[in-house]
Structure 1
Amino acid sequence: MPLPFMTAAGQTGAAEHPEPSPLPYDARDHWRRPYRPGPWRVGGAALILLLASYMLFSTLIIALAGAVPGALVCLGAALAVIGLALRLLRVGVWVSAHGLRRVGLLNTVTLSWAEVAAVRTVQQPVRWLGLPRTVQGQALDVVRAGDGEPLRTLLTDHNADFLSRPEAFDRAADVIEEWAAESQPVAHSTAHR
């Protein structure tokens, strides 16, 4: 089955935008994740959703037994677990013409391209699947403009999206670096106006 939206031939309006874009999207103002979520992240979210389905089934049983307050508590807990699974799927790096966004499980940090001094891939100890154990690997770091304070590591080749997929990490890092290189001059020129 052909998937024209995943190829350059599927781009519409190519004559309107003569400059090449690192991502094959015409709407550069929309926030996009430049890579697919990895199997570890999707599998973890699926297990959490499985737990939520058991909780919803328990809610039904409790409600049929006549304990409405208990059913409401169980329903609230199930909805919280579903929200956690959806948030887990959104975790990652998102880019647009406006800037760079790092979505975490509990917080989100957004930087405009004018605030980004450099995006680079470095060799350093990285956390394995977000656990305290560290291994030697690659990480994508962002240095903020002005104070030079580094942002928390964006991506590593041992996180839930790229574990055992080094080619996918290299592609994602290259695309994010291209977005930064392409968007920074525009951001600096509009900042000086």
Structure 2
Amino acid sequence: MTANSNRIRQRYDRLAPYFDSLEGVLEGLLFRRLRKKLWVQAAGAHILEVGVGTGKNFAFYPDDARMTGIDFSPRMLEIAQRKQQRKQIAVDLTLMDVQSLDYADNSFDTVIGSFVFCSVPKPRKGLKELYRVCKPGGQVLLLEHVLSSNKILATLMNLFNPLVVNTLGANINRQTLKNVQACPFQKIFIDPASSDMIKLIRAIK
């Protein structure tokens, strides 16, 4: 793990006990609905969730798939493991960095992540890893917040980004759609429910 990755990991470790509470209002008003919309598209026998965090997506896991989940924060993963045991969720949870996945090429039918690439130090490297472990004809599903297309708002987001990164470990000015388009996917779809700053992305390998 790089020094930059380690700093981000430490911030998420620090925030882990409070993470669900910090996002509670947004989760109830918006994020949960979008997560459900993302996960309804998940298909195939073997599904990988990257950035599993505290296990916020457990409720949306399909019943008929083998589930694997990873996160690079030990503290976040500990909370997810406690939820997994309490709710009896069938998922194999592993401590792992999305920038260096310990899986063979073409391993998963669906690779899915929600609000992950805002905190990946080298997002294109991470996205290329998702592409690599996804099976041919499989899909990568992402729910991500991105830099606004509004010039004034984008300028403010760029201005405040260093403060947010240093405090929370997340970038608010990522251009994740462009990063996905830089990978050799066959087709890329943007869900019509996407907004200016929150995108639901489906990429077919």
For normalisation by structure 2, the TM-score amounts to: 0.23
From the CA coordinates, give the structure whose radius of gyration is larger: 1
For normalisation by structure 1, the TM-score amounts to: 0.24
